[in-house]
Amino acid sequence: MEVFAELRHRLKLYLIFAAVALMLAAGCSLKEAVKDSGPLPADEKTQAPVPDGVYKARDAVLGYFIPASADILSVEGRNVKVRPVDEANIKKGMRFSVFRKGAPFYHPVTNELIGSTEDTVGGIEITGEDAVDGVYPGMIIRGDVREGDKARISSSRIKIAFFQDRKADWSVSEVFYGSLKDSGRFEFVETYTADYSADAVSKLAREHGAEASLVFSTPDKDGKSTINVKLYWAGDSAMGGEITEETGSAGTIPARDEEFISGVFKDTKPWRTYGLPGGLLVAMGDVDGNGTDEFVVSDGRDIRIYSVKEDFKELWNIKTEGGGNHLSLDILDVNNNGRAEIFVTSADNIGAMYSGESESSHDVMSVNSFVLEYDPAKGYRRIAENIPYFLRTVGNSLLMQRYSSGRIFSGPVYRAKWTGSQYGTDAPLALPEAANIYGFAFADWKNDGRSSVMTYDYSGYLCLYDDSGSLIWKSEESYGPFTFSFESRTRSLANPTTKWSVRGRLMAVKTGRGQEIIAVRKEPVLSMLPALGTNKAEVYSLWWDGNAMDRKLIMNEIYGSVTDYLVNGRELFLVARAGLSTFLGRLAQGEFSGSSILFYYKFGPLETENK
């Protein structure tokens, strides 16, 4: 048995090494492909330019951690004078560890003197920017430092904690973070805090064994976007330095020079971003009847409600009962009492995600959807629960489709109705056979009263059907992995497990030439390893002229794994989890983060289509 256990252990190690090798090979292939490829046509996707300020800020941060050595020439109280060795680059704020020559050590056989040990005795910080005769002033920050000691910044990777202000431009932050990571100088610790004070971030850095922390933000200064990075030393919470650079012309994700959708998108504004402690699904509506829409976020288990009157402010944190996983989130006032209901599709024993983040369930899946509504006297409460239907809203309609343990999506998709005490099915929708309740939209392309249906297929390709249900167009490329794809157990003896997905949103919008479909295309981290998820996305509008599909890129290079989005009036909201750099950092540390970023882009006069 011990032999078999050892074999299993070795096999597991081989598989891990093989997976890592495959990832590295894929990454190298990707780099070579990019390096060798020629210029793309003007209408093709191109890589967004990196803001100049990112590189300047990165180099300034690296300047505090350049490997260097110096001799301690003199010590007077807490003050020291040091001389760099080999013309090392020294700047104010750098911190050195101090070593002292220790006991000699000899060859164990010949007894020949090999060298001496070094003992760590303290640390110093450079306090002056300019040298006098090659000598820099400094101060002792810890320990017993003496004349003749050696000061050194090691060439080993520095462990550092990275924090992003919740209002920072996340696209710039991701590029900045990636540039630091690509330098190979740092081992990153990522953690979350709502308090970016020196004491708070330094405390977290110490708890994770980090030497320092960086706090990144993108404030506006004199009407210009800037990059601001504060460096705090973990040991004493002191500020090592503050870096401010103008972001540059590529500091935001700008609108293209061309019209986005036939002149509809005007007066475009830059992205704004907000940190969410656990965003996965999003919806928007007036849930408390105050005349203003609230923003509702699910992390897959619990629900948070935010006010968006001025700034994002959390109003409620609703802990949902049971162990169900939220699959979809929608808001609509179906019972017409002036307070929109929150519709949550929830499932138990859902099985394993394709990404392998969870183990397969040994129990048969069940769908137990529920509805929340605000009561001025009691707060948010369930007004319906244990609903065995998938729920989704499209325009001004609530839709329902029954769950079946054999087929998952069973029977037609129904419009729902409020009977006065419960939600029931009404008339079925006429949908293509390949469609289910998720991932479709009706579009009256030319406002001529004739609608067709666009839907995702199982693999993420967009499919357009005419009013007879015949396929008339299919996209040439997939729009990426869906947020939720599962392998669940069924009661069928012939097919004891089934693979299925919650297809992403498609949203119809009114434009000057009719109705168009907004779709988000996600790109896998590595096409060879789709189970890693996605690390960037693009937003497209699609319009059918009767013979061909006109596809226009609204915005690109949205870094992160977009898990949900919605169009509300003139605003497009997206919620995204961390990108590839963050994922690999967490993977190396054996941890994953539930934190997400909510960001939006403001269009011109755009209306969501209500059917």
Query: Tens digit of pLDDT for each residue in 368-422?
Result: 999 999 999 999 999 999 999 999 999 889 999 999 887 889 999 999 999 988 9
Find out whether 70 and 87 touch, Cβ atoms under 8 Å.
Answer: no
Is-contact 567 602, C-beta < 8 A? no
Task: Report helix, strand or coil for 52.
Answer: helix
The Cα 95–Cα 70 span in angstroms is: 11
* Lowest mean pLDDT segment, chosen from 87-96, 207-216, 271-280, 380-389: 271-280
Q: For the segment 428-473, what is each residue's pLDDT rounded down to a tens digit?
A: 998 999 899 999 999 989 888 788 999 999 899 999 998 788 999 9
Percent of the chain with pLDDT over 90: 43
Q: Which domains does the chain have, with CATH numbers?
A: 64-153 (2.40.10), 165-246 (3.40.50.10070), 272-608 (2.120.10)
DSSP string of 213-272, one letter each residue: EEEEE--EETTEEEEEEEEEETTT--EEEEEEEE--TTSS-PPPSS-SSTT---S----E
Average pLDDT over residues 328-352: 91
pLDDT of 184 strictly over 50: yes
Q: Is 6 helix (H, G, I), strand (E, B) or coil?
A: helix
- Place 578 in a pLDDT band, splitting at 50, 70 and 90: low
**What mean pLDDT value characterizes the chain?**
78
Structure tokens that stand for 475 in this block: 């996209």
* d(C-alpha 94, C-alpha 130), whole Å: 13
Question: Residue 143's pLDDT is what?
Answer: 95
Confidence tier at 348 by pLDDT (50, 70, 90)? confident
CA dihedral sign, ordered 572, 574, 580, 581: positive
pLDDT at position 351 over 70 = no
- Residues ≥6 apart with Cβ < 8 Å to 122: 97, 98, 140, 141, 142, 143, 144, 145, 149
Q: Distance between CA 481 and CA 500 in Å, rounded?
A: 12
For residue 133, pLDDT over 80 is answered with yes
pLDDT at 34: 31
| Higher pLDDT pick, 201 / 43 | 201
Tell me the torsion sign for CA atoms 9, 13, 18, 20.
positive
Q: What is the mean pLDDT of residues 241-251?
A: 74
Count, residues in the chain: 611
What pLDDT score does 58 carry? Answer: 92
65 forms beta bridges with none
266-277: average pLDDT: 56
Q: Stretch 309-323: mean pLDDT, rounded?
A: 80
Q: Is the pLDDT of residue 514 over 70?
A: yes
Confidence grade of residue 518 (pLDDT, cut at 50, 70, 90)? very high
Q: What pLDDT does residue 571 have?
A: 78
Which is more confident, 580 or 448? 448
Most confident range (mean pLDDT) of 6-10, 171-175, 464-468 is 464-468
pLDDT confidence bin for 198, thresholds 50/70/90: very high
Q: What is the per-residue pLDDT for 525?
A: 52
Q: What is residue 296's predicted lDDT score, i.e. its pLDDT?
A: 96
Q: What is the pLDDT of residue 568?
A: 79
Token couple for 199: 């004491």
Judge whether residue 362 has pLDDT over 80.
no
Q: What is the DSSP track for 265-296?
A: --S----EEEEESS--EEEEE-SSSSSS-EEE
Beta bridge partners of 233: 212
Q: What percent of the chain has pLDDT over 70?
A: 75
- pLDDT of 8 > 70? The answer is no
Q: Which residue has the higher pLDDT, 528 or 549?
A: 549
| Pairing, β 212-217 against β 158-164 | parallel
d(CA 396, CA 412): 19
For residue 23, is pLDDT > 90?
no
The token duo for 300 is 């897959």
Work out the average pLDDT over 133-148.
94
- Alpha-carbon distance of 509 to 522, in angstroms, equals 20
Q: If we measure between CA atoms, which residue out of 370, 335, 161, 272 comes closest to residue 600?
A: 272
pLDDT for the residue 535: 65
pLDDT for res 494:
58
Q: Could you report the per-residue pLDDT of 585-611, keeping only the tens digit for each?
A: 333 333 334 467 787 776 654 444 444
- Quick one: pLDDT at residue 268? 38
68-86 pLDDT, tens digit each: 999 999 999 999 999 998 8
**In this predicted model, what pLDDT tens digit does every residue of 564-577 receive, in sequence order?**
998 877 778 888 87
What pTM was estimated for this model as a whole? 0.57
More confident site: 543 or 195? 543
On the question of pLDDT at 303 being above 90, the answer is yes
